[in-house]
Amino acid sequence: MARINISLSNEIINKIDRYKEKTRMTRSGFIMKAVENFFPDVERKLLDERKKEAVNGILKIREKTAPLFDGWDSTTEIRKLRDSRWNGKQK
């Protein structure tokens, strides 16, 4: 196991000491557990950022392509496809 040196405020050290007594853990064990529990939050935030970037990319594409679909009605097109299947025709 690697050994590191970190600086923490006295307030944080006092909190750690109070909780480590209740949980019967060492300071190192307590800090290690806290860091391990923090990783899912970091991963979730990173994933949320990637989702936002993806949505923004989609919105930009939509803005660029919107003029190509001016006057096009998706509902009408879907109905045409549906009706052609029922009638045995292809359009």
Would 82 be classed as within a structural domain?
no
Overall number of domains in the chain: 1
Mean pLDDT (the chain) is: 91
Would 37 be classed as within a structural domain?
yes
Residue 85 is predicted with a pLDDT of 80
Structure token pair of residue 62: 């939509």
Using one digit for the tens of pLDDT, what is the confidence trace for 20-61?
889 999 999 999 999 999 999 999 999 999 999 999 999 999
CA 70/CA 47 separation, integer angstroms: 34
Handedness of CA 35, 41, 44, 49 (dihedral sign): negative
Q: Which domain holds residue 42?
A: 11-69
Q: Say whether pLDDT at 86 is over 80.
A: no
Would 62 be classed as within a structural domain?
yes
Q: Residue with structure tokens 């994933």?
A: 47
Would 75 be classed as within a structural domain?
no
**Distances 45 to 21, 39, 50, 59 between C-alpha atoms, Å:** 31, 10, 9, 21
